[in-house]
Amino acid sequence: MTMTAPEAPLPDKEEEFGRWYDEILKRTELVDARYGVKGFIVYRPNAMRMVKRIYEMFEEELERTGHMPVLFPVVIPYSYFKMESEHIKGFEKQVYMVGEAGGEELEERLVLRPTSETAFYPMLSLWMHSHTDLPMKLYQGVEVYRYETKATRPLLRARGFLWIETHDAFARKEDAERQIEEDLGIARRVYDELALAFLVIEREPYDKFPGAENSYAYDALLPNRHVLQIATTHYLGQNFSRAFDVTFLDEHGGHEHPYTTCLGVGVSRTLAAMVITHGDRYGLVLPFGFSVHDVVIVPIPYHDVEGEVDEKSKRVEEILRAAGFDVLLDDSDRTPGDKYYRWEMLGVPVRIEVGRMEVRGGYVTLFRRDTRGREKVPDDKLVERLEELEREISRNLRRKAWERLEGSIVTARNRDELVELARLGKIIRASFCGRKECADEIKDATGYEIRGRRVDVDEEPDERCAWCGAPAKRVVYLAKAY
């Protein structure tokens, strides 16, 4: 019986990231970009367990922190959309607009939501009466639409993408500010469980969300040395509540505008980050809970022991199912080699092989996808070993992701070093004067963007801006952004 892989391994992820990414999406059948509208994709069954699990994890965290689910229409009246002036300036060129229905021009054009502040706030003003209604913390998980003019790429940059948004309102400024901390904690806990590494960054003032006072973002690292923003949280102050005239009666009977915040999680991008961060030449690598199955049993029948192999495979399946594992016994007609290839490509964390040796020896051969290592596990230790592996695989993936991220950060002390490190594709740490002109010059010279200040560490800048020599205000991180 041949055991050769039906197809050659994928290209090298570090050397040929673009080819690797296109090829892994194709072979894993996660999504299909051949749908008839450019920039829109179809999510196929192999992607949906990941999508659902990412949603579930965020939703669990959100509900645990007092958020309630809602579901708003996809269309926003243009009159709502234009109410916050900075917001419309930032989004106007990116929106899809519905102008016609039933063959007639609509009286008012409708915006397909690019984000839902301007949908939520008119309703908040109807729902909010007194300070006892606050805090009001709402979320929805939906698809949003943005007319991207840059080249689109499945999951990374699309014109429709899955996300979760919260819209929170508070009576007091301090409570809204505390919500930003809570949002950062929610994202951190989920991304830790997804074994992703990330920088938590406060964006520069000229680079914040349209209409926000402060913006914070999670940046993950791609192997092509670009960073990918996977989630953001914004402190909106009273900007939106004033623009939409949302008020509540305070304890003294006065009308006040609430302070508001919003968190946006790019679910499509989070999925991309998992594929890209953990994947290798043999396909997806995933922690338990994300692939189509967690454990797959592959019987390797030989003539003299076929019945015994069959019987043992079924017994192992029953034991693992009873122990609560998501297990599949692959007794299809494919060859074992074909099965290995397929389940490795889909990132199934553990494969169990049952053949002649295993039947005779009272053990199984266990293959773990993250290290591609094999080990013999006695039949009576299997459940215990799988429980251990569930934790071990997550830990291993998380450690590797962080090592890669931290290993690519290098400090530049002056202009020459900055140019050189940008040429090498590093994430650059540098002291910065805070001026937009300086950031623009750096972008022109190197293609690098100032992502902002890290909020998860305290850092003292040098005296001078690494680029222009003016007094430095803070330490910032620079990278090419996807």
Residue from 433, 450, 476, 479 in contact with Zn ion (CB under 5 A): 433
Distance of CA 225 to the CA centre of its chain: 17
DSSP E strands in 116-225: the ranges are 136-145, 160-170, 199-202, 214-221
- Considering only the stretches 8-16, 86-94, 352-360, 461-469, report the one whose residues sit in contact with Zn ion under the rule CB under 5 A: 461-469
We find the least distance from the C-beta atom of residue 186 to Zn ion, in angstroms, to be 34
Using rule CB under 5 A, residue 468 touches Zn ion: yes
Q: What is the radius of gyration, based on Cα positions, of the chain?
A: 26
Q: Which is nearer to Zn ion, 107 or 437 (CB)?
A: 437
How far is residue 237's CA from residue 213's CA, in Å, rounded to a whole number?
A: 6
How far is residue 181's CA from residue 290's CA, in Å, rounded to a whole number?
A: 28
Q: Which is nearer to Zn ion, 81 or 467 (CB)?
A: 467
- Considering only the stretches 35-43, 338-346, 388-396, 457-465, report the one whose residues sit in contact with Zn ion under the rule CB under 5 A: 457-465
Using rule CB under 5 A, residue 467 touches Zn ion: yes
Count of residues of this chain found to bind Zn ion when the rule CB under 5 A is applied: 5
We find the least distance from the C-beta atom of residue 437 to Zn ion, in angstroms, to be 8
Using rule CB under 5 A, residue 465 touches Zn ion: yes
We find the least distance from the C-beta atom of residue 471 to Zn ion, in angstroms, to be 9
Under a CB-based contact definition with an 8 Å cutoff, are residues 237 and 259 in contact? yes
Using rule CB under 5 A, residue 418 touches Zn ion: no
Q: Count CB neighbours of 86 within 10 A.
A: 15
Using rule CB under 5 A, residue 145 touches Zn ion: no
We find the least distance from the C-beta atom of residue 431 to Zn ion, in angstroms, to be 9
Tell me which residues in 249-278 interact with Zn ion (CB under 5 A): none
Using rule CB under 5 A, residue 450 touches Zn ion: no
User: Where are the alpha helices (H) located in 29-103, listed in sequence order?
Assistant: 45-64, 78-81, 85-91
CB burial readout 410-449, b (16+ within 10 A) else e = eebeebeebbebbeeebbbbbbbbbbeebbeebeeebebb
We find the least distance from the C-beta atom of residue 442 to Zn ion, in angstroms, to be 8
We find the least distance from the C-beta atom of residue 468 to Zn ion, in angstroms, to be 3
How far is residue 109's CA from residue 39's CA, in Å, rounded to a whole number?
A: 23
We find the least distance from the C-beta atom of residue 438 to Zn ion, in angstroms, to be 3
For tokens 């349209």, the residue is 210
Q: Which is nearer to Zn ion, 309 or 433 (CB)?
A: 433
Tell me which residues in 5-34 interact with Zn ion (CB under 5 A): none
Residue from 438, 442, 475, 478 in contact with Zn ion (CB under 5 A): 438
Q: Which is nearer to Zn ion, 172 or 435 (CB)?
A: 435
Residue 248: enclosing H or E segment and its boundaries? strand 248-249
Using DSSP bridges, classify how beta strands 409-411 and 427-432 pair: parallel, antiparallel or unpaired: parallel
Q: Which is nearer to Zn ion, 285 or 430 (CB)?
A: 430
Q: How far is CA 443 from CA 200, 433, 439, in A?
A: 21, 15, 6
* Contact set with Zn ion (CB under 5 A): 433, 438, 465, 467-468
